[in-house]
Amino acid sequence: LEAFNFPNELTEIGDYAFSSCKSLKEMQVPDSDNRIGKAFCNSCDSLITVTLPNKRCEIDYSYPSDTLAMCDNLERVYNLSFIREDFNGFDFCDKLWYVSVVDGEEHFPKYFYQKLKNVRVLDLPSSIGRITKEELFWAIDTLDEVIIRGKRREIYIDKEAFQQGVQIKYMG
């Protein structure tokens, strides 16, 4: 199994559903899904791209869930959602270079930046509203580009939020 597209009628993915699926390279979760269980996709050594629902949905990242963790070749995650505060994803995903956050998110979970240690592109919705130095994105020394989707006037970015040289692009 190298790619999996779920049926549109799906409303939930259970715990450990694709855990340790060694040949899976791509996964696209439909917008109909409202809940994704813990460790639904961990230790998937060949996984390169995950597209999550294009809406806010509950994803169980709680410790020791390791959702989207230990995926050695994971490069891109689309539509990341944070309904829960406990974010424990992306551990040992050293090739992860692109993360987009789903439209409608208004804040980041605590210590989110620690999980993005190799990310070069961070794609954010303007619904985030504020990005301050307290989010500690300045600590990600690989970050090259931040894309803000939506209207520029809807988001406040602290001048110390990112390291010098990070390009901020507005797409709206």
- What the block records as the tokens of 3 is 């790619």
Polymer length of the chain: 172
- The β-bridge partners of 28 are 5, 51
- For the cut 90, the answer to whether the pLDDT of residue 90 exceeds it is no
* Of 42-46, 82-86, 107-111, minimum mean pLDDT range: 82-86
Each residue's pLDDT tens digit, 37-60? 888 888 999 999 999 888 888 787
Alpha carbon distance 28, 50 (integer Å): 6
The average pLDDT across 99-117 equals 85
- For the cut 90, the answer to whether the pLDDT of residue 146 exceeds it is yes
Average pLDDT along the chain? 86
Bigger pLDDT: 1 vs 63: 1
> Of 9, 118, 110, 5, whose CA–CA distance to 61 is shortest?
110
- What the block records as the tokens of 169 is 């692009």
Alpha carbon distance 79, 124 (integer Å): 9
- What the block records as the tokens of 140 is 């990600």
- What the block records as the tokens of 61 is 């990242």
- For the cut 80, the answer to whether the pLDDT of residue 63 exceeds it is no
For position 77, what pLDDT does the model report?
Answer: 94
Bigger pLDDT: 112 vs 63: 112
* Of 90-99, 129-138, 139-148, minimum mean pLDDT range: 129-138
- For the cut 80, the answer to whether the pLDDT of residue 95 exceeds it is yes
